Amino acid sequence: MYRHDFRLGTLEAGPLGTIGVPHQLRIVLECHEPLVNQGDEVAADQRIARSTRSGVGDMHSAYAGKIISVHDESITLETGGKEVSERIHPPDDDSALRDWLATMGMNTAHIYPSRLLIINNVPREPGHDTVFPLMNDQRKALENGLDIIKKVVRPAKTVLAAAKGTRVLAFADSTVHFVPARHPYGMAPMVLLSVTGEETVPGGRPSSACIVSLEDLYIVGRMAESGRPFTHTVCQMGNRTVMVPVGTPAEHLLAEGQTKASEGDRVVFGGLLTGTAVSRLEQGTDKNTSAVHVIPEGLFPPTRDASCVGCGECSRRCPSRIRPDLVSRASEFKLYERCEAYGVFSCIECGICGYFCPVRRPLLQYIRHAKHEINLQKGQCEILEAPA
């Protein structure tokens, strides 16, 4: 069996780039109410959906164009035209900054007052690194973003978390804390644990710190500089790091990367361990899409709906100390109360359990399915209240 290298490291990804304008945008809605109708003409940066839950940012169109369809789950826009919405710069009143961020499209549930602010500069996964071009080439935008976020958080101390063995230049009035350069130590809950000793359940707010990513700083910095909303994500495509408009179809990204996906291949939005395979190539990126991968058929053993053999390998590997085998079996049979009792919401979704499962059960998929169903039963949307 092929074994992946779990070491975290920086890539020689070059400067932050851009991609060509896609013909269409397919913008996924989560906890949003559409503000446009089929046939409407919209301007670039126009707000097209309003969040229906506190802390969830509104949705904007990266380009001018015509609305092709509107559904509860998505808006499809055909790009074209040059009209641009008016710029909205940060308010002078610091107490209004958080609302400004949400109006501009940021998920602000994880940005709140705290005495400790942690900036996560650790690569999320092996072979997945967007921090290098940001730290090296986008310093001014990062510092501007940090200034805005500090006005919301009002920290007494700021810590920059980095992977051991990497060289980083700390921000003013911040200290550096190194974490092991190995997956899953770059994930936010693990960084929080390393810096503060606190363990928190995803969906719950840490009591000791507010933690933001380097991408958060960059996006907020760009918004402050330009007065433009959050319409692009920082995304890794092969050895390139590029700005990708939210809603860009997978097929367009493959064309930009001069790559094709043959039958049997999988296209993944996000990291290879924690990402999600797209259901069709027309599927658009969302605000959390940080990478795009094509996994050729046969490179990794495919997951399959095999029965658990009870070997316990997943439990021994789990950093959250839960039993993925038990959770997955309960999820498989729709026993969601039992999933909660087994600590399904303690799972940080690092993907290690499924990777080491000898029969290739889709453990992470079962866990995510259980969380989804439980959230629906509670009337909640997919976006966590306060992701760590």
Q: What is the pLDDT of residue 2?
A: 45
Q: What is the pTM of this model?
A: 0.91
Whether the link from the prior residue into 184 is cis, omega within 30° of 0, is: yes
- Reduced to 3 states (helix: H, G, I; strand: E, B; else coil), residue 223 is helix
Note whether 292 and 237 are within 8 A (CB). yes
Q: Average pLDDT of 15-44?
A: 94
Q: Is 373 exposed, middle or buried, given 0-12, 13-18 or 19+ CB atoms closer than 10 A?
A: middle
Q: Average pLDDT of 308-314?
A: 94
Q: Both ends of the chain: CA-CA distance in Å?
A: 33
For residue 260, give both structure tokens.
């094709």
User: Cα 283 to chain center, whole Å?
Assistant: 16
* Backbone φ, ψ for residue 210 (5° rounding): -110, 130
Share in percent of the chain as helix, strand, coil (round to 5): 25, 20, 50
Question: Which candidate, 110, 111, 131, 135, places its Cα nearest to that of 122?
Answer: 131
Question: How crowded is residue 190: how many other Cβ atoms within 10 Å of its Cβ?
Answer: 23
Task: Return d(Cα 64, Cα 85) in angstroms, integer.
Answer: 9
Q: Is residue 147 scored above 70 in pLDDT?
A: yes
Length of the chain: 388
C-alpha separations of 313 from 224, 324, 357, 360 in Å: 47, 10, 7, 12
Task: Return d(Cα 313, Cα 354) in angstroms, integer.
Answer: 10
CA-derived radius of gyration, the chain: 20
- Reduced to 3 states (helix: H, G, I; strand: E, B; else coil), residue 42 is strand
Residues 252-285: pLDDT tens digits? Answer: 999 998 888 888 898 999 988 899 999 999 999 9
Residues 358-373: pLDDT tens digits? Answer: 999 999 999 999 999 9
Q: Is residue 12 scored above 80 in pLDDT?
A: no
Task: Return d(Cα 164, Cα 175) in angstroms, integer.
Answer: 14
Task: Return d(Cα 233, Cα 124) in angstroms, integer.
Answer: 15
- Per the listing, tokens 């026993």 go with 335
Question: Which candidate, 87, 74, 73, places its Cα nearest to that of 43?
Answer: 87
Q: What is the pLDDT of residue 4?
A: 55
Residues 150-182: pLDDT tens digits? Answer: 999 999 999 999 999 888 889 999 999 999 999
Task: Return d(Cα 340, Cα 176) in angstroms, integer.
Answer: 36
- Reduced to 3 states (helix: H, G, I; strand: E, B; else coil), residue 37 is coil
For residue 78, give both structure tokens.
């055909």
**Band (385; pLDDT cuts 50, 70, 90):** very low
Q: pLDDT: is 127 or 45 the higher one? A: 45
Task: Return d(Cα 58, Cα 190) in angstroms, integer.
Answer: 29
Residues 69-98: pLDDT tens digits? Answer: 999 889 999 999 889 999 999 999 999 999
- Per the listing, tokens 């992946």 go with 4
Q: Is 303 exposed, middle or buried, given 0-12, 13-18 or 19+ CB atoms closer than 10 A?
A: middle
